């Protein structure tokens, strides 16, 4: 789920507004603190929960705004993130490649035209030095991903990864908080919980079942590589302001 780097980069300015809001609320009077607690409670609700309690004209706009913004910038996120994910995940795939393979690399990788959708937002207190946000995300995309694999006997096969479906919770940590725009020095991201990760494999112009055990071996390698690279407590740090993070 490394593609979240592109998502984080694309919505960073909007999230900075939320971070600044939370920080200011924590420094005000007790009455304002109670208000912040109420707002945080609303943030923990899913879209469906909020709609059950509130008419549409009172529905909190955080998720709607984030989803709308992400959809607009997704073509740029796709272009920037696809190459980054490819170069980041490929060495991990090589590390986890099945014993029956001599090589496991991407020959093509794009995230496609369908943007992920946020379905829940939670703000977590973390002692005042930072702000932690958890975003529940769902993605049923149309990426174009082809793996170039080679077996130990020299057989080369192009394998397409398709029908990807993902639902999970990503943790974003904005830390340290500073008095300079955008209000934090760096943001780190991690996959806190994977609820669903589905995909299918298909040999381009052939049948992957022709080599017994190959499908399961490649599927396991992909799952291990992706999950081990960003699953909490593993995290990726993106510096925003100059400093040692």
pLDDT tens across 112-160, in order?
999 999 888 888 876 778 889 898 999 998 999 999 988 888 888 899 9
Q: What is the pLDDT of residues 196-233, one digit of tens each?
A: 999 999 888 776 766 777 888 888 888 888 778 888 98
The domain tally of the chain equals: 1
pLDDT of residue 236: 84
Q: Which residue in 167, 191, 173, 166 sits closest to 123, CA to CA?
A: 173
* Inter-CA distances, 45 with 134, 155, 196, Å: 12, 51, 20
Establish if 244 belongs to a structural domain. no
Instruction: Inform me whether the pLDDT recorded for 8 exceeds 80.
Output: no
pLDDT over 90 percentage in the chain: 17
Structural domain range at position 225: 4-239
Establish if 137 belongs to a structural domain. yes
- Residue 95's CB is within 10 A of a number of other CB atoms, namely 13
Establish if 152 belongs to a structural domain. yes
Mean pLDDT, all residues of the chain: 77
Establish if 206 belongs to a structural domain. yes
Claim: this prediction has a pTM higher than 0.75? no
Distance CA 206, CA 202 (A): 8
């Amino acid at each position: 789920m490394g593609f979240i780097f592109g998502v984080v980069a694309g919505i960073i300015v909007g999230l900075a507004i939320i971070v600044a809001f939370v920080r200011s609320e924590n420094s005000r009077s007790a009455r304002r603190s109670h208000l912040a607690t109420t707002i945080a409670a609303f943030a923990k609700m899913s879209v469906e929960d909020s709609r059950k309690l509130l008419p549409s004209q009172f529905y909190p706009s955080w998720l709607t705004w984030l989803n709308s913004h992400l959809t607009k910038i997704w073509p740029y996120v796709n272009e920037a993130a696809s190459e980054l994910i490819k170069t980041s995940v490929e060495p991990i795939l090589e590390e986890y490649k099945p014993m029956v393979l001599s090589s496991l690399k991407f020959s093509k990788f794009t995230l496609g035209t369908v943007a992920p959708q946020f379905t829940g937002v939670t703000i977590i207190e973390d002692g005042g030095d930072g702000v932690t946000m958890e975003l529940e995300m769902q993605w049923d995309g149309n990426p174009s991903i082809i793996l170039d694999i080679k077996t130990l006997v020299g057989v080369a096969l192009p394998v397409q990864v398709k029908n990807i479906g993902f639902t999970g919770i990503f943790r974003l940590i904005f830390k340290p908080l500073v008095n300079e725009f955008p209000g934090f020095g760096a943001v780190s991201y991690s996959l806190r919980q994977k609820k669903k990760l589905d995909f299918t494999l298909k040999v381009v112009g052939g049948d992957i079942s022709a080599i017994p055990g190959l499908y399961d071996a490649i599927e396991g390698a992909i799952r291990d590589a992706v999950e081990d690279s960003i699953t909490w407590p593993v995290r990726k740090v993106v510096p925003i302001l100059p400093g040692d993070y």
